[in-house]
């Protein structure tokens, strides 16, 4: 398997990339059930925000959603290296 140029530049091995991908993506039953629980919770919060005409509540539901969790994890994992 060819190394990703970005991973090589940062100093991450292929094994590290596989390990991180395993933690980021839904791959087992427990993670899938947590995903659906968060999705239902976010839908309930968003519905309450729409009914109550509260923009802040709808935005809060967007932050709770598991789809946003993946984006936050990826952004944290791809930050530039800290200069030493």
Q: What are the sequence ranges of the domains in the chain?
A: 28-77
Q: What is the pLDDT of residue 14?
A: 74
Q: What is the pLDDT of residue 84?
A: 64
Percent helix, percent strand, percent coil in the chain, to nearest 5:
75, 0, 25
> pLDDT tens digits for 5-27?
766 667 777 787 777 777 766 56
Q: Are 50 and 62 in contact (CB under 8 A)?
A: no
Q: Are 40 and 61 in contact (CB under 8 A)?
A: no
> pLDDT tens digits for 37-81?
888 999 999 999 999 999 999 998 888 877 766 666 777 677 666
């Amino acid at each position: 398997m060819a190394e990703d140029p970005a991973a090589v530049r940062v100093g991450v091995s292929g094994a590290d990339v596989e390990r991180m991908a395993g933690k980021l993506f839904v791959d087992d039953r427990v993670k899938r059930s947590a995903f659906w629980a968060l999705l239902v919770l976010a839908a309930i919060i968003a519905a309450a925000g729409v009914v109550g005409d509260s923009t802040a509540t709808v935005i809060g539901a967007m932050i709770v959603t598991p789809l946003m969790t993946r984006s936050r994890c990826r952004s944290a994992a791809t930050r530039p290296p800290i200069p030493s």
